[in-house]
Amino acid sequence: MRKRLLIYLSSIAAVSLIAFGVYWRLSPKIITKPAIDEHYNAVVFMEDQAFPYRPQVRFHLPVTWHIEGTLLNNAATDAIGVSINPETGEITWQDKREGPFSITITASNRMGKDRQSFTARQIIKPLFEITFPPEIPADREFRGGVRTSGSLPIQYACTTAGITFDSRGVIWQKPEPGTYTVTLIASNQAGTCERDWNVVVKAAPVKIESEPVAVATEGDDYIYPVMASGTPKFTWELTECPKGMIVGKEGVVFLPSRYVKKGECKVTIRVSNMVNGQKYSDTQSYTLRCVVREKKDEEQEPPQEEKKKEEKKEKKKQEYAKAQVVPDVNVIVNKRKKDEVKEPTPEKEVPQKLEEKPVLPPPQPQVSQEEERKEQERLREEEQKQLLEAQKKLEEERLRQEELQKRKEEMQRLEAQKRAEEEKQRLEAQRKAEEEKKQQEEAQRRLEVEQKRQEEQRKAEEAKRLEEEQRKAAEEKRKEQMRKALEEKRLQEERKKAEEEKQRLEEQKNAEEVKKRLEEQRRLEQQKKAEEEETRLREEQKKAGDEKRRREEQRKAQAEKQTEEKQVAVPTKKEIVREKTEKGKKVKLTYDFVLEGWSFDDFYELSRASGFKILFISPFKGVEEKNYEVTGIDRQGRLTVQMLPLDENNYSKKGCMVVDIPAEGRAHWMDYETRLREQLKKGSHSLVVFFPYSFMASLEDASRSYYAVHCADRNTPFEQGAGAVRFKITGDRFIKIVSMGD
């Protein structure tokens, strides 16, 4: 007993080791790992490209792959567009979001399953939209906003010179007139996106935009820089202005201080340019008002040097007057006093004031002309100097304006560059903050997953321990039951042997009685069979007489109708023609075949001669691509079949339903079916007859002939009144219509 127990326990241990080895060998284990990007801490892949990872299991076992994915950092557990080939493990990605995504891959078979989890991130291609106008003015800064989507960072570029990008969009500093196709390009790791902007830069007519400086101060130069918009080059001119006023090539109006006189004067400025071969111009008119500067107290008394110069000039005038014919001195003195009281003039305007003073009596001819010539030359030189100074000041003002414009442009460029740098820093800081947040969330998620895994592991170990205890208890219980069962089995065998011995003796005693009862029972059964056979023969004779009389009556009735009905013979294989086949394909009525007066052997010979097909098929599946076809009868009377296709061009797949088989031949037909079912092991198959289309055409002809003779309502067409047609084939191979209609 102990030896048997040891053998049993050893066999259990061996079976357990074998089962463990089989499980280890056949259970799936994923051995590959995806490539993790250090920057994103995830599997990075590009949009519209193949997923860069295909998992594999050890020993190349056949497994079924399954994949699950969720979008991280999202409260809702949205399903993502990802699938995996269950046989090859190839991952197909359809989701268009950036992620990150949590992916779990499972490999399973009958022996178990294994899982692998990782994080994936998709780099989305850049995509941007532009809504720029098709026309813009020339020589004006253009700014256009660009809406961009895709994974950062995104680099921008343009094929047209002079166009730059900042955080808010496109900047075109000074577009020149013309037609352009501007290609804007945005690119990142996943690819590029290009957008064409077809734009026409139109030259604009000139237009004065600035407000005029309408006040000039006496003793100061008058300067008015005119600002105009449009396409250069501009041509400036003064059509109406005071004496001494000029305008420069840059549109700066200048009036020297010596020509600034108290009062008002009319000024009209005209500027013009050429646009597409046509001249455009604009004018600005205003009234220039000259005012007197208010002098301070310290300026009211002239300096000592000015006084000395005035005294010296006055002395020369007096000497010059004494040398000439002296007019009324009081008149001259009073006139000069009036002029001096009217307006104290600076030194540089003395020549002009002298011109305005009353002319003294003419001197002697030689002295007067020489002095006058010198005075005029001095005035011309002084005027020439003032004009040169005015031009110099005008040029300095133009240079100053250019310098201011350059500084302004530089400040704008620096400001735009600063804004772009700030926007870049802001985006970088935002990206870093998002990455830090995602990393924190990922760390939190991993911590939760690890805690969950540890909890599951603890529960699994606890369950395993309980299972082991239960297994040991069950093993002890099973051993006890086995011991009891062996003891019970031994007792049962002993009882069985005693019962068998007792039964053997009883059987030996009752054998004679049983033999006698069996002989008596056999005699009674033979007597009963003889009586049943006699009864059957009488019934068959009666049925044969009835059938003979019925056939005689039918023959007489058929003989009476043959004068009216048309007899249609069953066509043979040689009589099958294309016209009848095409006609048979169009037959749409329902036909039921009455199999009467034919044995299976005779009907098979008829089928061979007329091209009928006898198929052994399932009524549930119907005709398939290849079917069992009866091709002959062997010497033992068994059917021979072959798998052959049904020619659908010449045979109807619907066939005809066999509605009646006579009682005397039914068992014969069923014997053939039963043998085929046992031979081919097809329990649901049956023998079914299929007719060629040429036979269906002949059957329709016989049906139409029968309908023409027996139709009650001649106005009802054949297609509507025929209904279900029941027919049979006579022994002389003619088609006979049994009944028609409902």
pLDDT for position 106: 92
Would you say how long the chain is, in residues? 742
Domain boundaries, the chain: 30-118, 127-202, 207-291, 374-453, 558-740
Cis bond before residue 692 (omega within 30° of 0):
no
Distance CA 150, CA 187 (A): 9
pLDDT for position 558: 61
DSSP letters of 278-320? EEEEEEEEEEEEEEPPPPPHHHHSPPHHHHHHHHHHHHHHHHH
Q: How confident is the model at residue 564 (pLDDT cuts 50, 70, 90)?
A: low
Q: How confident is the model at residue 347 (pLDDT cuts 50, 70, 90)?
A: very low
Cis bond before residue 153 (omega within 30° of 0):
yes
Distance CA 554, CA 590 (A): 24
pLDDT for position 305: 58
Angle of helix 600-610 relative to helix 663-680, nearest 10 degrees, comes to 80
- Paired residues of 201 in beta bridges: 136, 178
Distance CA 94, CA 90 (A): 13
pLDDT for position 342: 41
For residue range 49-89, list pLDDT tens digits in order: 889 898 988 877 888 998 988 887 664 456 788 999 988 88
Q: Is 670 helix (H, G, I), strand (E, B) or coil?
A: helix
For the CA atoms of 501, 506, 508, 512, what is the dihedral angle to 10 degrees? -170
| Better pLDDT: 241 or 567 | 241
Q: How confident is the model at residue 341 (pLDDT cuts 50, 70, 90)?
A: very low
pLDDT for position 710: 79
Average pLDDT over every residue of 616-638: 83
Res. 199: pLDDT tops 70 = yes
Strand order in the sheet with 724-729: 568-569, 734-740, 724-729, 590-594, 657-660
Q: Are strands 215-217 and 278-291 parallel, antiparallel or unpaired?
A: parallel
Average pLDDT over every residue of 401-424: 80
Do 30-118 and 207-291 show the same overall fold?
yes
- 259 neighbors 242 (Cβ within 8 angstroms): yes
Res. 459: pLDDT tops 80 = yes
pLDDT for position 77: 54
Res. 360: pLDDT tops 50 = no
Average pLDDT over every residue of 537-544: 86
pLDDT for position 131: 81
Surface-to-core class of residue 654, CB atoms within 10 Å of its CB (0-12 exposed, 13-18 middle, 19+ buried): middle
pLDDT for position 330: 40
Res. 521: pLDDT tops 80 = yes
Please state, rounded to an integer, the average pLDDT across all residues of the chain.
Answer: 79
Res. 158: pLDDT tops 50 = yes
The whole-angstrom distance between residue 60's C-alpha and the CA centroid of its chain comes to: 35
Distance CA 41, CA 721 (A): 82
pLDDT for position 557: 64
Helix and strand totals (H; E) in the chain: 11, 32
Average pLDDT over every residue of 613-617: 86
CATH of domain 207-291: 2.60.40.10
Distance CA 309, CA 297 (A): 21
CATH of domain 30-118: 2.60.40
Q: What pTM was computed for the model?
A: 0.35
pLDDT for position 268: 93
pLDDT for position 661: 64
Q: Which fold has domain 127-202?
A: Immunoglobulin-like (2.60.40)
Q: Is 74 helix (H, G, I), strand (E, B) or coil?
A: coil
pLDDT for position 610: 85
Which range has the worst mean pLDDT, 190-204, 654-668, 692-706, 726-740? 654-668
For residue range 275-304, list pLDDT tens digits in order: 777 788 899 999 988 888 765 444 444 455
Cα 204–Cα 205–Cα 211 angle in degrees, nearest 5: 110
For residue range 172-184, list pLDDT tens digits in order: 877 888 888 888 8
For residue range 363-376, list pLDDT tens digits in order: 444 447 788 788 87
pLDDT for position 191: 85
User: b/e per residue, 532-570, with b = 16+ CB within 10 A?
Assistant: eeeeeeeeeeeeeeeeeeeeeeeeeeeeeeeeebeebeb
pLDDT for position 324: 41
Beta-strand runs (E) in 582-712: 590-594, 613-617, 627-633, 639-644, 657-660, 686-690
In the Cβ-directed half-sphere of 179, how many Cα atoms lie within 13 Å? 1
What tokens were used for 606?
């008829």
Average pLDDT over every residue of 198-207: 83
Residue with the two structure tokens 């549930």: 620
pLDDT for position 317: 56
pLDDT for position 565: 59
Q: How confident is the model at residue 447 (pLDDT cuts 50, 70, 90)?
A: confident
Q: How confident is the model at residue 104 (pLDDT cuts 50, 70, 90)?
A: very high
Distance CA 648, CA 582 (A): 12
pLDDT for position 329: 35
| Better pLDDT: 90 or 40 | 90
For residue range 110-143, list pLDDT tens digits in order: 878 888 999 998 898 888 788 888 888 877 778 8
